[in-house]
Amino acid sequence: MENEFAAKLNIVNKELAYQNNEKEKRAAELVIANKELAFQNIEKENRATELVIANKELEYQNKVKEKQAAALIIANKKLIFKTQERQIKTAELNIANRELKKAEEKQKEYIKGLEEMMFMTSHKVRQPIANILGFSNMLDESISSPEELKLSVDSIKQSALTLDTFTRELTTFMCELGKVKK
């Protein structure tokens, strides 16, 4: 029995030795696995640090882009404002140009009227004056009868009436011409 017990003890010792050997292998594997996990944790921490840096860089780039976008919006508003100013100035220039053309047309009409007035003065006024002067000279030089005197006075009177009519026409014309100038 002692042999039997020793044999069983021997088998149990071998079994325990085998289990210890297996446990040592597992412990060695766990040490390797722990080292692998530690290495992976370090790698993950490095990646996490890189991601933090990358996120900060993205944050910075986003802030820069936001500032650029804000600057573009301001530049756009300035451009719109300047465009509106130009449109207003263009409209003002167009109005001023139309007014200038109207003024030029009125001035042309006024000048034409002045030219017409000069023509009328040089022709219509000069004729009755020449007649009055001519009849006056005739009266001075030779009046032989009262009928000739009456005829000369009537001619002078007719020339004076023609001159008066033309003077009134000229006054009316000048008033109308003054309205054109305005």
Please give the Cα distance from 49 to 31 (Å, whole number).
Answer: 26
pTM of the predicted structure, to 2 decimals: 0.44
Q: How confident is the model at residue 24 (pLDDT cuts 50, 70, 90)?
A: very high
Mean pLDDT within 131-137: 76
Q: Which helix (H) or strand (E) holds 3?
A: helix 2-120
Q: How confident is the model at residue 19 (pLDDT cuts 50, 70, 90)?
A: very high
Q: How confident is the model at residue 177 (pLDDT cuts 50, 70, 90)?
A: confident
Please give the Cα distance from 155 to 125 (Å, whole number).
Answer: 15
Q: How far is CA 6 from the centre of its chain?
A: 111
Q: Which of 3-7, 122-126, 147-151, 152-156 has the lowest mean pLDDT?
A: 122-126
Residues 6+ apart with CB under 8 A from 132: 156, 159, 160, 163
